[in-house]
Amino acid sequence: MKKSLYFFLILLLTSLSCNNPKIKPSIDTSLDIKNMPTQESWNSKVIFSDSGITKAILYAGHLRVFEKEKETLMDENIKVDFYNSDFKITSTITSKKGRVDDVTKDLYAIDSVVAVSDSGTIVTTDELLFRYKDKKIVSDKFVTIFSKTETIKGYGFKSDQDLQNYVVYNITYISKTDSSSNK
């Protein structure tokens, strides 16, 4: 009899609890699902290689991948190290923000861009593009180049990724560096 009473009470409690109205969770309608990244990471390291040989390593404080748009957006301490075939860093680009075209593998460095070569050449500008297909660094913005022999300022720039062979298109300032001050 006790077992029947317990069974009846459990059955009654179960049926009563099932009759309570369902609680619907609140939905945040302020989120724009269409503009959300498909992947997101912090303190990221991305290695670019060709035939198993590391060509560049990208570091980003915050990285967002948008598969539909085929682009990766980055911010917070962007740094790209370019390597030669001996895995030696030949140049480094830093910026506050960046973008990678996931189709062409072109890299856009944006805001407070500084490119430094292992030979000491320094390029500063607001925006640089590293074109993956021909391994060239280009900009149509105002650039300043400091090297061991000269300082050049102008609009429009093209260089190899090592910053050894470069051209400034619309030069606004040029000065030779005093060679005696480099000793």
Q: Is residue 23 part of a domain?
A: no
Tally of domains in the chain: 1
> Tell me: the pLDDT tens digits for 118-174?
999 999 999 999 998 999 999 999 999 999 999 999 999 999 989 999 999 999 999
Q: Is residue 146 part of a domain?
A: no
Q: Is residue 121 part of a domain?
A: yes
Sheet holding 150-160, edge to edge: 39-50, 53-66, 71-83, 89-101, 107-117, 122-131, 136-146, 150-160, 166-176
Q: Is residue 148 part of a domain?
A: no
Q: Is residue 100 part of a domain?
A: yes
**CATH number, domain with residue 70:** 2.60.450.10
Q: What is the span of the domain harbouring residue 80?
A: 37-140
Residue type, 11: L
Q: Which ranges constitute the DSSP H helices of the chain?
A: 2-18
pTM of the model as a whole: 0.78
Residue 182 has pLDDT above 60, yes or no: no
Q: What is the pLDDT of residue 12?
A: 58
Q: Is residue 149 part of a domain?
A: no
> Tell me: the pLDDT tens digits for 44-69?
998 988 888 898 999 999 999 999 99
Q: What is the pLDDT of residue 13?
A: 61
Q: Sorting pLDDT into bands at 50, 70 and 90, what band is 35? A: confident
Q: What is the pLDDT of residue 183?
A: 44
Q: Is residue 120 part of a domain?
A: yes
Q: Is residue 177 part of a domain?
A: no
Q: What is the dihedral of CA 174, 178, 181, 183, to 10 degrees?
A: 110
Task: Calculate the average pLDDT of the chain.
Answer: 87
